[in-house]
């Protein structure tokens, strides 16, 4: 007999960041996570996480709205249901609730974690098995200060913690951003890959000028230069420059990926379990991208260890992640709420072992950072 879902809890957790994290639309000093705990009638618990960057400044879901959605709309539909039929539960939620992919991702992750614990198998095995046990991870240089970012990059290179770097730009005048980026690329030279994330801040004309300057400066990748709904601009820019574009906010799921690929986009896509609605949905988008010859990148919404581990299990099953990943969220936070943090070394991170996610909550730290 299947184990039955007996309780669902969504908890707001606030952890300060190690430094201000500057985006084009907001600056973060605290990361808020929604931690989901689903318990079944066999006494097992599955963990999930929904996290965004910059709250409603970034997208339509905030941590507070995710908690409300799960408590008010999802939990009543899931109580008393068999915990092992994840597809049936996903279809149920999709038929009654539009969007809310962050909340759905946390639920799907918790159900997969629960399934892995029930079967005593890592989550990656439920997804077909890990191709990679050590996954490359870049670091975002987001202080906004050129000298500080150069020092940070050089120290991380020396420690072999990261060799790929991303810069958040778009909040300052174009040429100020270009000079900032070019100085950092010149400082690290060929020892590191340098990419930029514009977070939708440019119109197409500004993006064309910016990409020409960045291409000349030796930058390797430009993430989402134009607004998410202007897919045509991304296609035109990808045709104009040999500097690749990374589509992020423009692609949430497999349907978006198909539309962009069919329009003629050539470049790469940032996969994110949160924007897709869960690890299973993110891998569907990866399949469409790969079929269209579009490169893959493991993206993050700066999740903590639980959400990061879920994404790592998904990315580990992909044959070729051409642009690596940015699963550094836990490193940006001053503390953690898990017993055993992820192991970052040799410019990447190890896939956690153990049943499900391979992650265990530290109850004392959870209580410390839980929003009162």
Using pLDDT thresholds of 50, 70 and 90, give the confidence band for residue 28: confident
Average pLDDT over residues 305-325: 97
Judge whether 356 lies within some domain.
Answer: no
What are the pLDDT digits (tens) for 88-112? 999 999 999 999 999 999 999 999 9
For residue 312, which of 134, 45, 161 has the smallest C-alpha distance? Answer: 134
For residue 261, which of 220, 229, 222, 295 has the smallest C-alpha distance? Answer: 295
Active site residue 340: no
One domain, residues 302 and 255? yes
Question: What pLDDT is stored for residue 1 in this prediction?
Answer: 65
One domain, residues 297 and 192? yes
One domain, residues 181 and 282? yes
One domain, residues 197 and 284? yes
| Average model confidence (pLDDT) across the chain | 95
Catalytic entry in 39, 117, 166, 168:
168
One domain, residues 43 and 22? yes
Instruction: Give yes or no for a contact between 122 and 358, defined as CB atoms under 8 angstroms apart.
Output: yes
Whole-number CA gyration radius for the chain? 20
One domain, residues 173 and 286? yes
Asked if the model's pLDDT at residue 23 lies above 70, the reply is no
Lowest mean pLDDT among 18-32, 73-87, 283-297: 18-32
> CATH code at 198?
3.20.20.120
One domain, residues 239 and 312? yes
Structural domain total, the chain: 2
What are the pLDDT digits (tens) for 128-181? 999 999 999 999 998 888 999 999 999 999 999 999 999 999 989 999 999 999
Asked if the model's pLDDT at residue 56 lies above 80, the reply is no
Question: What pLDDT is stored for residue 7 in this prediction?
Answer: 97
Judge whether 200 lies within some domain.
Answer: yes
Average pLDDT over residues 117-123: 98
* 197 membership: H or E segment, kind and range: strand 193-197
Judge whether 342 lies within some domain.
Answer: yes
Average pLDDT over residues 29-33: 91
One domain, residues 50 and 183? no
Judge whether 36 lies within some domain.
Answer: yes
Q: Which residue blocks in 139-221 are alpha helix, DSSP H?
A: 146-158, 174-188, 204-216
Cα 46 to chain centroid distance, Å, stands at 20
What are the pLDDT digits (tens) for 223-246? 999 999 999 999 999 999 999 999
Active site residue 326: yes
Judge whether 160 lies within some domain.
Answer: yes
One domain, residues 113 and 143? no
Judge whether 246 lies within some domain.
Answer: yes
One domain, residues 103 and 138? no
One domain, residues 114 and 130? no
What is the span of the domain harbouring residue 146? 126-350
| E-state strands within 256-337 | 268-271, 295-298
Judge whether 357 lies within some domain.
Answer: no
> CATH code at 17?
3.30.390.10
One domain, residues 110 and 213? no
Asked if the model's pLDDT at residue 22 lies above 70, the reply is no
Asked if the model's pLDDT at residue 341 lies above 70, the reply is yes
DSSP secondary structure string, 311-333? HHHHHTT-S--TT-B---HHHHB
Judge whether 355 lies within some domain.
Answer: no
Average pLDDT over residues 109-127: 98
Average pLDDT over residues 10-28: 81
Using pLDDT thresholds of 50, 70 and 90, give the confidence band for residue 24: low
Percent with pLDDT over 90 in the chain = 92
Asked if the model's pLDDT at residue 125 lies above 70, the reply is yes
Average pLDDT over residues 351-362: 97
Distance CA 51, CA 46 (A): 17
Catalytic entry in 61, 108, 249, 326:
326
Count Cβ neighbours within 10 Å for each residue of 176-197 and write b for 16 or more, e otherwise: ebbebbbebbebbeeebbbbbb
Using pLDDT thresholds of 50, 70 and 90, give the confidence band for residue 43: very high
């Amino acid at each position: 007999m299947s184990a039955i879902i007996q309780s669902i809890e969504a908890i707001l957790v606030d952890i300060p960041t190690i430094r201000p994290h500057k985006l084009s639309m907001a600056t973060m000093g605290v990361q808020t996570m929604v931690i989901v705990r689903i318990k079944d009638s066999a006494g097992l618990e599955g963990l999930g996480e929904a996290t965004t960057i910059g709250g409603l400044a970034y997208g339509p879901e905030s941590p507070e709205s995710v908690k409300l959605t799960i408590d008010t709309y999802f939990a009543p539909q899931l109580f008393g249901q068999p915990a092992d039929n994840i597809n049936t539960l996903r279809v149920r939620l999709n038929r009654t609730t539009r969007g809310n992919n962050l909340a759905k991702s946390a639920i799907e992750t918790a159900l997969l974690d629960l399934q892995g614990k029930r079967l005593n198998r890592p989550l990656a095995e439920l997804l077909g098995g890990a191709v990679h046990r050590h996954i490359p991870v870049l670091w975002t240089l987001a202080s906004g200060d050129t000298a500080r970012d150069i020092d940070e990059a050089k120290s991380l290179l020396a420690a072999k913690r990261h060799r790929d770097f991303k810069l958040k730009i778009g909040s300052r005048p174009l040429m100020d951003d270009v000079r900032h980026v070019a100085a950092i690329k010149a400082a690290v030279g060929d020892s590191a890959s340098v990419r930029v994330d514009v977070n939708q801040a440019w119109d197409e004309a500004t993006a064309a000028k910016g990409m020409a300057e960045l291409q000349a400066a030796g930058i390797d990748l430009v993430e989402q230069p134009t607004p998410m709904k202007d897919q045509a601009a991304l296609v035109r820019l990808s045709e104009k420059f040999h500097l690749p574009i990374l589509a992020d906010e423009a692609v949430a799921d497999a349907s978006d990926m198909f539309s962009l690929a069919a329009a003629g986009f050539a470049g790469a896509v940032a996969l994110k379990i949160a924007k897709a609605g869960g690890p299973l949905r993110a891998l569907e988008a990866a399949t469409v991208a790969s079929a269209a010859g579009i490169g893959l990148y493991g993206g993050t919404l700066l999740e903590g260890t639980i959400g990061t581990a879920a994404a790592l299990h998904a990315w580990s099953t992909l044959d070729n992640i051409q642009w690596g990943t940015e699963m550094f969220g836990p490193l940006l936070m001053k503390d953690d709420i898990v017993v055993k943090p992820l192991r970052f070394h040799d410019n990447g991170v190890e896939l956690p072992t153990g049943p499900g996610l391979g992650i265990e909550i530290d109850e004392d730290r959870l209580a410390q950072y839980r929003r009162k």
